[in-house]
Structure 1
Amino acid sequence: MLIPIKALANSHPSGGLNYSQRALTNAGNPAAAALVIERNDPYVMTGGIIEFGAGLEYGDLDELFAKIDDISSQFSPSEDEGTPGSPPSPENPIRDYTWEDLFQAYPELEDRIDVLEDKVLTTAGVLALITTEGYGKAEAIANASFVLSDDFYGGSLLFSTDFKGNAKAVGIFEDINFDSEQARTQLKTIPDFNESDPVQALDLSGGITLFYNPANQKVKLSIDNDSLLLVKATTVFRASLAYSAKALSSEDGNLYWGVKPNFYRVGLTNVSTRLGDVTDSEALFNDIKDADLIYENGFDIDLGLVWATDNYQVGASVTNLIENTYEYPELEDDFNSLQIIRKLSSHKSFTMQRQVKLEAGIYTDDRQWSLNAELDANPTVDPMKDRYQWLTITGGYANDSWWLPSARIGFSRNLAGSQLSYLNAGVTVMKFINIDVASTLDTVTLDGEKWMRGAHIQIGFQFDY
């Protein structure tokens, strides 16, 4: 029975477990269970396995949330929070920017348009950086697999359930179309104002308004467009029955096949907040955990083959043969920008895409030492719309002692999307407790502290009965 845990994306492959142990989980080749059970290795318990895991991954952007919060102060809030284009006020706060060198000498104002352009280009550059790297992701998983029968119509029957929860915050931004000539024309009017004049709103183009106070020659910059922070969350529950059996036996090796029908219950939610309304982006990422989910059911099938000999084995599997699509709830915000509407359309749904996985392993005669490799033959996207194509290499030592642990170490790299690399390490203690950790070597700064860009931990309990 699956013990559910509350979720906070597919930020890491199936973990550091070796090929035999992973065959008894939902992450394994559907054909592998029959092979593992038939071998009856003293190093691997074949009754079942229960696993729990959690992971985090962040974009390559130091002070991620601080940068989003800082740049959001330059954007006008929505109609609900204040009137876009209105002067600054306690109800509609916009951060002060004083460019004293720009206004110290009015005769040079036209020549200093480059100062304003630099400011706008810097803002646009930060927006672009946040778009590609400004994300934070979290993942929580639980899995339970049990061998129901090792002689079911000549094969093995494995029942599995698993749960995965994902959340992600990412920036989606509208381009700033800055017209320097229009801005220059507007700025040239500044010397015409007297100290007694009210605050002036200068339209600098591209939704950029410069508020100028003649009394103290200070300025406030406001950007009015539909740029937003999108926070998404999903929960995916899966229940499956995997049947596997030997298809061919020969002196050179044995061929095993497997089929795994899967039932899915998928919960989806998303929340969007215009950048001008953001006051604490990290809080938005945390609040998504309490959002209401919209649930859909689905059905899919996985297939697998394994060829095994005394010293090596190779396998191939196909997951999500049917490729079901699941819809996110409609966003309530009314956006005017066609660019934003187009970008958001790609986040309205996700498809569990078909993927081919290739596997290979070599081992000693007693199978105490092994080297395993796995490759996703094609990239796919997860519910967060991030691309993944994992290459994983794992070496391990196994023994049947209650006191001496088995150990493994490996390397994983995402060949698509983030292209992050992970180092994996794990041990099996007392024959039935698996502990596996993984971490990137890259770091990111959050709240002034250095963190690994990605980290994952998984604990499993394997047993016989």
Structure 2
Amino acid sequence: MARKLYLVLAFFYSALCLSGQPVYHPIGSASTLGSVTNSRFISSSLSNPASPFLMFDENESRDNPRGLFRFGILGPGGFGAEVGQLDSLSDELDGLESVLNDTSLTSAEAAAAQTKYNVFLKNAGEQGYIKVSTAGYVPAFPIFYKHPKFGTLAFDLILQGEGKMKVLDDDIDVVVSGGSTTLETDSSVYSKTALAAVFGVGYSKQVLRTRQGRLILGSKFNLTRMKLERSLSTIENIDNDGQFEESEAFSTNYSVDLGAIWLTQNVLYGAKVTNLNEPTYYYDTLGGGCAVKTGAALTNCNTVATFVSSNDLTHDETYVAKRQFSIEASSSFANGLWSVQSSLDLNAVVDAVDDEYQWLVVSSSYYGDLLLPGFRAGYSRNLAGTQLDYINLGFTFFDRANLDFGWSLDTVKVDGKSLPRSLFVNLGIESAF
């Protein structure tokens, strides 16, 4: 069973790698700094629709009446993983699969296994999941053009995806037939994946300048093409991977983001709203056409109906990208070499695989130079959903190459070893000035 689970996850991740900043996977330095505007990292343009205006040196922009271009080089991009608060999930599923396929159980052995694994399944139904995610820019993106009078145009193209596999629990029954004793359950492994290509076009402009500071406003139009998949197999039939009950659909929609930034000499305040229009994306039907199926495929199809009746699943499903409001603040000192920053989502939103996110991030950074690497460190917490706490670190080498990673403070045992429940890694090469 453990081997099969690893194969399923490998399939999920390979699919993800083939596909505004996803709420489930901060891109680039945002995994350390948070969703804050920082002209040293052009990927931070995702933090606020008004940010692209600040991705240029102001003096250089003034000296180029025809305007300036700035673009990404490679990335950033990365991956993340998260598991539920349940130790040795794969080992327990391995044991459960074995006992479900055992036709030589005694009555006492069956009763003992029923008691043991009913407890496990109840816990697995609450915390038994594995999630992987990936997100990153297509090479050369984002692309910015700033005109000294008319503002800044921004173009970005992001590939992103997430996949989550979890356990749907059902009580184990002891079945006596023809002199043999076996165990039966509809407990299943259920997965959802959401792959997306997002093309964004933004415009930002300074609309006010006083002695106290500058006001920059921005807007962004995003066109999103999503591939949404669901699949289910009973634990007993997990080896028959060609017989899973599956659905697949493509769905396209658009979203609008708005942002504002107030900037003084050393302090920045920002606010934004993403998915202003709350676009909807559609999964295909799961568990339809059971009458024409046989064997394990029929069992899996009928099992969908079982979990629909218990309100654990629905045959048809939609994903609504809910509106989210966020704020940011940062301050620089020591001639801009050091900074502190924070970002906060004001409300929680749910992603396409039903996980809830609302990020709080506090961080500090030193920018370094060509010889001395830049360094940043931060703390983040998902205020909703899992409520996991993270420690995040990042490094910049030669003013171009960025490496950021973070890990959760909560741990879980995997193969007897204590490991973080969640981690993120991002790597990329960005232009700088």
Which TM-score bucket, shorter chain as reference? 0.7 to 0.9
The aligned length equals 385
- Cα offset, 1:64, TM superposition: 1.4
Of 264-273 and 322-331, more deviation after overlay is shown by 322-331
Of 145-154 and 303-312, more deviation after overlay is shown by 145-154
Question: What's the counterpart of residue 220 of structure 2?
Answer: 260
Please state if 1:127 is matched with 2:121.
yes
How does 1:93-242 map onto structure 2 within 5 Å? Answer: 93-94=102-103, 96=105, 99=108, 120=114, 122-144=116-138, 145-151=141-147, 154-174=150-170, 176=171, 208-211=173-176, 220-224=181-185, 226-242=186-202
What letter is aligned with 1:408? R
Aligned CA distance change for structure 1 residues 457 and 95 (closer, same or farther; 3 Å):
farther
- Cα offset, 1:95, TM superposition: 7.2
Residues in 2 aligned to 1:46 and 1:63: alpha-carbon distance in whole angstroms: 52
Cα deviation digits, residues 154-201 of structure 1 (max 9, x gap): 211111110112111111224x4xxxxxxxxxxxxxxxxxxxxxxxxx
Gaps of 5+ in 1: 76-91, 101-114, 177-206
> Cα RMSD between the aligned structures?
3.3
How does 1:62-461 map onto structure 2 within 5 Å? Answer: 62-73=87-98, 93-94=102-103, 96=105, 99=108, 120=114, 122-144=116-138, 145-151=141-147, 154-174=150-170, 176=171, 208-211=173-176, 220-224=181-185, 226-279=186-239, 293-332=248-287, 333-335=301-303, 336-337=305-306, 340=309, 342-345=311-314, 348-364=317-333, 366-399=335-368, 401-461=369-429
Match of 1:16 among 23, 28, 32: 32
Secondary structure in 2 aligned to 1:252?
coil
What letter is aligned with 1:431? D
What letter is aligned with 1:222? L
Cα deviation digits, residues 392-428 of structure 1 (max 9, x gap): 11100113x2111111001111111111111111111
Residues in 1 aligned to 2:333 and 2:69: alpha-carbon distance in whole angstroms: 20
- The answer to whether the Cα contact below 8 Å between 1:10 and 1:382 also exists between their aligned partners in 2 is yes
What letter is aligned with 2:422? G
Residues in 1 aligned to 2:164 and 2:222: alpha-carbon distance in whole angstroms: 25
Residues in 2 aligned to 1:5 and 1:209: alpha-carbon distance in whole angstroms: 40
Aligned CA distance change for structure 1 residues 339 and 122 (closer, same or farther; 3 Å):
farther
Gaps of 5+ in 2: 1-14, 61-67, 288-300
Residues in 2 aligned to 1:22 and 1:387: alpha-carbon distance in whole angstroms: 27
Aligned CA distance change for structure 1 residues 95 and 153 (closer, same or farther; 3 Å):
farther
Aligned CA distance change for structure 1 residues 153 and 431 (closer, same or farther; 3 Å):
same
Question: What's the counterpart of residue 199 of structure 1?
Answer: none
Secondary structure in 1 aligned to 2:354?
coil
- The answer to whether the Cα contact below 8 Å between 2:231 and 2:247 also exists between their aligned partners in 1 is no
- Cα offset, 1:221, TM superposition: 4.7
Aligned CA distance change for structure 1 residues 340 and 57 (closer, same or farther; 3 Å):
farther
Residues in 2 aligned to 1:97 and 1:22: alpha-carbon distance in whole angstroms: 65
Residues in 1 aligned to 2:103 and 2:329: alpha-carbon distance in whole angstroms: 58
- Cα offset, 1:304, TM superposition: 0.5
Residues in 1 aligned to 2:334 and 2:212: alpha-carbon distance in whole angstroms: 15
- Cα offset, 1:7, TM superposition: 5.0
Larger Rg: 1
Aligned CA distance change for structure 1 residues 131 and 150 (closer, same or farther; 3 Å):
same
What letter is aligned with 1:6? C
Residues in 2 aligned to 1:386 and 1:346: alpha-carbon distance in whole angstroms: 19
Aligned CA distance change for structure 1 residues 308 and 94 (closer, same or farther; 3 Å):
farther
Cα deviation digits, residues 213-234 of structure 1 (max 9, x gap): 98xxxx845234x332111212
